[in-house]
Amino acid sequence: MRNNPIAIVPIRDGELASGGAESVAEAGGHAILIGSGGLRAVDQLRGGAVSVRVVETDSFRPASWAATLVSMVADAPYLVLPASPDGRDLAPRIAAILGWPLLTGALSISPGRVTVARHGGLVQVDQIPIGRFVATLQPGVRGTAPDRSEPTVEYLDPEFTDEMDATVLEVFPPDAATMDLAEATRIVGGGAGLMDSDAPLRFAQLAAVGEAIGASMGATRVVTDAGLVPHTRQIGTTGVVVDPDVYLAFGISGAVQHTAGLGHPSHVISVNTDPHCPMMGFADLAIVADAIETIGVLLDRLGAGVSRVEAVAGHG
């Protein structure tokens, strides 16, 4: 791996961090996997990696990991980590120890140019790095095109340095209401069809529906530009690129900037009064109905009444 860019991908129980395979591809196929379940994680990279080094360790200790990894990557021209929660925790620690600049939220990474998203994804900025650097790659922006090649795999057993790390007392399951959209397996999305005179209430209702079914709430750009939903909840090529198992779209027409950021959901349900809009053609199940009324019916059926909506809206 000497003189090659290297992707550093945290793993937990054999699962790559979100965007891990894309980070490996962006680094030319050279990777270090660190965490638990390395053998299973390597299988997820077959066909998309050239060389993989696996560092097996149990608990997530970013300070200790960073101090141990720097000696393995000091010759690389640059490092790529996924902009997943673990990747965002590990990347600045590595950059600080090496004294390299850190470029976050990258859309593409090359030796002479790093394109990053800024201002909630509304602006793309080209950064021209001087010397070596660390970058985090947004999950879902690149994709992968695996072939049939097999990577070389080396298993390492380094001595971890005794760095001060937080003690993990308990790991709770993710909260669908607050988790990163890029990692959500179920998403309810709202578009311009919910923007009536009571639009803030409509999106509180949509969030309550999502909470009731264990889904995260997202929205289209027109909604986030209006300030109804934070830009961190914007789905699309200029927002967050997602890849859920289930996507429910309410009042979304389906502009290409939105649908291009949906990945490949296993199931798509669209509710819209326009049967001919792109989102209805994209859906597995297209329901011609008023999205606002449909959400109201769902709230009643799910038992997510006024108190839940008020709590989601911050009034409870």
Percent of the chain scoring above 70 in pLDDT: 93
Provide the pLDDT for residue 2: 64
Strand-strand pairing, 113-118 and 123-127: antiparallel
Query: Could you tell me if residue 176 is inside a domain?
Result: no
Helix (H, G, I), strand (E, B) or coil at 281: helix
- When divided into structural domains, the chain yields a total of 2
Starting at the earlier edge strand, list the strands of the sheet with 267-272. 216-219, 186-190, 246-250, 267-272, 285-288
Structure-block tokens of residue 131: 């010397």
The whole domain housing 250 covers 181-313
Structure-block tokens of residue 161: 């340095």
Question: How does pLDDT run across 259-295, given as a tens digit for each residue?
Answer: 988 988 999 999 999 999 999 999 999 999 999 999 9
Q: Are residues 239 and 134 in the same domain?
A: no
Strand-strand pairing, 216-219 and 123-127: unpaired
pTM for the full predicted model? 0.71
Structure-block tokens of residue 72: 């393995």
Under DSSP, the state recorded for 188 is E
Q: Are residues 149 and 13 in the same domain?
A: yes
Query: Could you tell me if residue 167 is inside a domain?
Result: no
Q: How far apart are CA 146 and CA 48, in angstroms?
A: 5
Torsion angle in degrees (nearest 10) through CA of 242, 191, 312, 199: 160
Query: Could you tell me if residue 173 is inside a domain?
Result: no
**What band does 1 get if pLDDT is binned at 50, 70 and 90?**
low
Rg (CA), the chain: 21
Query: Could you tell me if residue 273 is inside a domain?
Result: yes
Q: Are residues 128 and 185 in the same domain?
A: no
Whether the Cβ atoms of residue 194 and residue 202 lie closer than 8 Å to each other: yes
Query: Could you tell me if residue 196 is inside a domain?
Result: yes
Structure-block tokens of residue 90: 């590990």
**What band does 309 get if pLDDT is binned at 50, 70 and 90?**
low
Rounded to an integer, the average pLDDT of 152-171 is 83
